[in-house]
Amino acid sequence: MKIICIVSMILILLANFNIALSFTDGPLPNGNFEYGPKPSEMKGTKIINPHAIPFWEISGYVEYIKSGHKQGDMLLIVPEGTSAVRLGDEASIKTKVKVTKGMFYSISFSAGRTCAQDEKLNVSAWPNTEPKDWGILPIQTVYSSDGWDSYSWGFLAQSDEIQIMIHNPGSEKDPACGPLIDSVALLALYTPKRQRGNILKNGNFEQGPYIFPNASWGVLIPPNIEDDHSPLLGWSIESLKAVKYIDSDHFGVPEGKRAVELVAGRESAVSQTVRTIPGKTYVLTFLVGDAKNFCQGSMMVEASVGAVVVQVPYESKGTGGFKRAQIRFKATSPRTRVRFLSSFYHTKSDHSGSLCGPVVDDVRLAG
């Protein structure tokens, strides 16, 4: 108890001085919002002091939500721990972090939809000037049955000290109607070295966003994410829905420690464009499997390289497993796009309603 009190006092002192701490991979200081406002800094669930949450600054209608809190007949679910924040219309929460200028980073956080249907979040990272790096993440589709998902977004640090902001640009009539935010983390990403004999960057998907170690749901990479903002280095999300980034600690991963799961049928696609020599023959190989997450049935991964499209079937029992596929093609352009999507929608057989799909891993392009 004495140690907890000392830690709490240190957090409060540092927060009052608005100090930006040096970054290490993982959760940001008080990124799970377990250290919250004093009772005198709240009116009901609404936070009335913009500096009430240690290490964070709020703007607009922000609520501090405890696990088990009810809104009418609806129980608000806190993704991790006992506390989270809820952002009303045009509300935001931000923090300062010391990073390495010129380094690429990914932000991961959990978000739960409450009463709005078409919810979005604006995530940004910038120096102490106007925002220069930002992205809008749609969260209206709930991919898990828990009522919330973990998301990621990538950015290039333009200063040694940045501000990370999560903002709700919603336009609901109810100012208290907005998403729950919890478990904010940061991870430095290093330019992946090409594997010998592989033209693709990060073909084994090992360089990607932070995955919370105690979470068994992976992290979503949002739709329409171009390469310069992709937390999955080298790859773009070329679809209307997200793809899921998974780890071998919680899922069946065919090779290495990371892979991607195509969780939204034809609306969930990942792609990379590479330099090729017109007229030259290339061979694309990759693994197709299931995530060992009760995703059963006849799966089909559609792989395309330029104008060549091949459908690879996989019969999943939902218990893990994979097979290798190969495509031989002749390049017709100096730039060739490699793209993967799932031909069908799937949900888990555990009756949870959670979206799932085939896993793609260990993608190699040789010529």
User: Can you give the residue ranges of every domain in the chain?
Assistant: 2-189, 219-366
The structure tokens listed for 135 are: 């992205």
Backbone φ and ψ of 10, nearest 5°: -65, -45
Give the pLDDT confidence of 49-74 residue by residue, as tens digits.
999 999 999 999 999 999 888 777 77
Please report the pLDDT score of residue 128 as a whole number.
Answer: 60
Q: If pLDDT is split at 50, 70 and 90, which confidence band does 12 have?
A: very low
Class of domain 219-366: mainly beta
Q: Determine contact, residues 367/288, Cβ cutoff 8 Å.
A: no
Q: Report percent pLDDT > 70 for the chain.
A: 90
Query: Cα 199–223–251 angle (5° rounding)?
Result: 70
Lowest-pLDDT choice from 167-171, 207-211, 229-233, 327-331: 167-171
Lowest-pLDDT choice from 3-12, 262-271, 308-317: 3-12
Q: Determine contact, residues 355/312, Cβ cutoff 8 Å.
A: no
Lowest-pLDDT choice from 10-19, 56-65, 146-155, 208-217: 10-19
Please report the pLDDT score of residue 278 as a whole number.
Answer: 97
Residues in the chain: 367
Which residues does 351 contact at the CB level (< 8 Å), separation at least 6?
none
**Stated pTM of the model:** 0.90
Q: Residue 249, CB half-sphere, CA atoms under 13 Å: how many?
A: 9
Please report the pLDDT score of residue 48 as a whole number.
Answer: 97
- Choose between 116 and 204: higher pLDDT: 204
Measured from the Cβ of residue 334, the count of other Cβ atoms closer than 10 Å reads 9
Query: What integer best gives the mean pLDDT of the chain?
Result: 88
Give the CA distances from residue 191 to residues 205, 206, 247, 355, in Å, rounded to whole numbers and listed in that order. Answer: 12, 11, 19, 31
Quote the CATH superfamily of domain 2-189. Galactose-binding domain-like (2.60.120.260)
Please report the pLDDT score of residue 19 as a whole number.
Answer: 52
Q: Do domains 2-189 and 219-366 have the same CATH topology?
A: yes
Average pLDDT over residues 64-85: 84
Q: Residue 38, CB half-sphere, CA atoms under 13 Å: how many?
A: 7
348: pLDDT strictly greater than 80 = yes
Q: If pLDDT is split at 50, 70 and 90, which confidence band does 141 have?
A: confident
Give the CA distances from residue 178 to residues 81, 92, 150, 154, 303, in Å, rounded to whole numbers and listed in that order. Answer: 20, 11, 16, 23, 38
Give the pLDDT confidence of 92-110 residue by residue, as tens digits.
999 999 999 999 999 999 9
Average pLDDT over residues 232-236: 94
DSSP 223: T
Please report the pLDDT score of residue 78 as a whole number.
Answer: 84
* Dihedral of alpha carbons 250, 254, 259, 265, sign: negative
198: pLDDT strictly greater than 90 = yes
Average pLDDT over residues 20-43: 88
